[in-house]
A and B are shown apart, each in its own frame.
Chain A
Amino acid sequence: MKIPYNEELRPDTGLYNAKLGIWLFLASEVMLFGALFSAYIMLRTSYEYWFDIKTILNVPLATLNTVLLITSSVTMVMSWVSLKMKDLNKFKLYLGATLLCSFGFLIVKYFEYSSKFAHGLYPSSSTSLACYFTMTGLHVLHVIGGIAVFIYLIGPGIKMWDTEPERYTNRIEVAGLYWHFVDLVWIFLFPALYLL
């Protein structure tokens, strides 16, 4: 019993199932992070003693993180391109680079958080810090989720390249869409929390 349009495109919509699925998921994620940003705006504009965390946040580290994520985004799309051109080795290289950059992001985040804790700055210290930790924390959870998916795809999941290469390529595309969204969120999180 085969589910139609898992790989082939349905003629009237021009989509395969997983692509529509991932965009719907991303739409829900837009609403999730939208709610976080909305809360941030509401809390920041309504509290007169809002503590400006710009002064205690490490902008150079966060800029490094931004560069890491942007790099991981381009290596992700290049890995998909390599698969489209049937070059498995290049694909592994690029996906590996993506993984490297994302681990780098996590390591930088680890240093950021631990230095805050070392200075006695916790989410409970002020609402601005609470917002910072929660928003970046949820973003980190999404990065970890992405990493888990990549490890599966480059690990046990790579067997599908031999049996169903087109379906595997679609999986990489879908994972890539998720990853670009994670990057997109950071592109807005970075100025909102660290710069504005």
Chain B
Amino acid sequence: MTLLDFARGPGLQWSLIIMIVGLCWRVIGVFLGRWRKDLSRPRSDDLVQGGLRAIITRSAPAPELEKNIRFQHYTGYIWHIGFFMTVLLYEPHIAFFKSILGFGWPGLPSHLVVIPAAITLAVLVMLMIRRMTHSVMRMITRTDDYLSLIIIISTLVTGLMAYAHMGPRYETMLALHFISVELLFIWIPFSKLAHMFFWLLSRYRIGTFFERKGVKA
């Protein structure tokens, strides 16, 4: 079996299975966890609206803190948007999703997708260097965070190199890209990257919690 056969075959199968097992385990485990009963008097009865509002308001930094976290916040948006454009609007990726989901969607001209991919990679590398050199960031960054950065950066690097036919033979580079994505799949449920599946519910929960307390936050 060649590296590419492994990457497109058992590697893909098992990484998807592990990711799904891990995500279902975590999400359902969290949902069925015990919620502490709130014995205080509810100050509002429109908790749903509070929850939904929080989803929107938490997309921007709190006005009091904004100037402190401005850089991290906006570069975060840039690379997240760039990353999703690369993953979701590149036609060979859309073909991958279509084979699993059964439906696809229109994409961008392939040679244009290189732009968001390159920008995302540049921003991520810069943010990683910042994490390693900034005195405060260094103190609060753990192995978990570095591993997430390295894995995502490797998917972008291998993808761009395969696209440009740079480096090793194309089949090898493509296999490396597949494998880096499979590592990402496996890593997602067991790391902070799982926030991609929790962020909506998290914000909603905070929103209802504060709404019940009568706090507009």
Chains A and B come from one and the same complex: no
Residues of B within 8 A of A (CB): none
